[in-house]
């Protein structure tokens, strides 16, 4: 694992954006695995800036997002589809049909999971961006006795719903289920870019990166991947040696 700790969040964002700009310069049709949550927003802002400054074009890029809530339509402002359009896609030149998210509003969500898996099996990500849940989840792969390989339906843990309630008008509005890429699909990416900010996550960062590999901390499985880059701000990295 290549762990980098930055003095400021902006330095982290610049570093991450440069990684993407360099990747796309060498491979214009790169496949990007993308994430939601507050963590990637600064990186997306820098990518938009790079696009506006003509340093990068996303014309031939394909993207696959990690997850989506079940039961929200894409035009619901709490859906991850809406989030991605607002925070990134609508500001860059990526054709809409090259952006993918699981459809959490499909009539048959199980079939949707299989459809999404088939898509990502043929298009493994060159780089998969990941945030980290407070409980160590990646995507929506929650801590459990066992983890699932492919795209599947998850019951969100109360802790996760509470953590994400800040984006909704009330806790009751937070969906109880989601569709997420499985840990196996995530691990197929050539490079994984784990980004974590803030002191509230410093203990789980330490556990995930240096503790035992366990399904109780899904992010700990990243220790078995051969190409992981971890970007932390000073607060998130404060408990590391
Ligand atoms: N499904 C998402 C994850 O992909 C994300 O990494 C996590 C952390 O979010 P934040 O970056 O807002 O702390 O939240 C959600 O649960």
Per-residue pLDDT at 64 exceeds 90: yes
Q: What does the pLDDT look like over 101-153, one tens digit per residue? A: 999 999 999 999 999 999 999 999 999 999 999 999 999 999 999 999 999 99
Pocket of ligand 1, candidates 131, 204, 217: which has the most ligand atoms within 8 Å of its Cβ, to mutate?
A: 131
CA of 137 to the centre of ligand 1 (A): 8
pLDDT of residue 211: 97
User: Do 38 and 133 contact (CB within 8 A), yes or no?
Assistant: no
Catalytic residue flag (residue 142): yes
Instruction: Supply the pLDDT for residue 45.
Output: 98
CA distance 41 to 197: 12
234 to 6, 11, 12, 35, 39: CA distances (angstroms): 6, 11, 10, 21, 14
Alpha helices in the chain (DSSP H): 9-26, 41-52, 80-87, 109-122, 158-164, 183-187, 202-210
Give yes or no for residue 67 CB within 6 A of ligand 1. yes
Which conformational region is residue 88 in: left (phi greater than 0), alpha (psi within -120 to 50 degrees), or beta? Answer: alpha
33 in contact with ligand 1, CB cutoff 6 A: no
- The protein residue with its alpha carbon nearest to ligand 1, atom 9, reads 37
What's 3's DSSP letter?
E
Ligand 1, from 135, 137, 152, 166: best to mutate by most atoms within 8 Å of Cβ? Answer: 137
Asked if residue 15 lies in contact with residue 231, where contact means CB atoms within 8 angstroms, the answer is yes
- Banded pLDDT at 241 (limits 50, 70, 90): confident
Question: Residue 132 CA: which ligand 1 atom is closest?
Answer: 6
pLDDT for 54 beyond 80: yes
- 137 in active site: yes
pTM reported for the whole predicted model? 0.96
Q: The complex's ipTM?
A: 0.95
Distance 132 CA to ligand 1 centre (A): 6
Mean pLDDT of 89-105: 97
Q: What was the pLDDT predicted at 139?
A: 97
Q: Are 231 and 4 in contact (CB under 8 A)?
A: yes
Average per-residue pLDDT for the chain: 97
What are the chain's domains? 2-233 (3.40.50.1360)
Ligand 1 geometric centre to CA of 158 (Å): 14
Question: Distance (Å, rounded) from C-alpha 5 to C-alpha 139?
Answer: 22
């Amino acid at each position: 694992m290549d762990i980098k700790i930055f003095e400021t969040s902006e330095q982290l964002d610049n570093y991450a954006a440069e990684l993407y700009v360099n990747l796309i310069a060498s491979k214009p049709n790169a496949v990007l695995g993308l994430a939601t949550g507050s963590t990637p927003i600064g990186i997306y802002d820098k990518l938009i800036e790079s696009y506006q400054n003509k340093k990068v074009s996303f014309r031939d890029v394909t993207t696959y997002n990690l997850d989506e809530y079940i039961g929200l339509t894409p035009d619901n402002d709490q859906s991850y589809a809406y989030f991605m359009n607002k925070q990134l896609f609508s500001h860059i030149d990526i054709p809409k049909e090259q952006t993918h998210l699981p459809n959490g509003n499909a009539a048959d969500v199980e079939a949707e999971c299989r459809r999404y898996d088939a898509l990502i099996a043929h298009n493994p990500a060159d780089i998969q961006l990941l945030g980290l849940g407070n409980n160590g989840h990646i995507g929506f792969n929650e801590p459990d006795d066992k983890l699932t390989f492919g795209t599947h339906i998850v019951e969100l843990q109360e802790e996760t719903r509470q953590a994400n309630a800040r984006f909704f008008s009330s806790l009751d509005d937070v969906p109880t289920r989601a569709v997420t890429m499985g840990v196996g699909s995530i691990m197929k990416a050539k490079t994984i870019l784990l980004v974590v900010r803030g002191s509230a996550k410093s203990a789980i960062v330490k556990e995930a990166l240096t503790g035992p590999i366990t399904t109780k901390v899904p992010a700990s499985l990243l220790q078995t991947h051969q190409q992981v880059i971890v970007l932390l701000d000073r607060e998130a990295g404060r408990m590391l040696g």
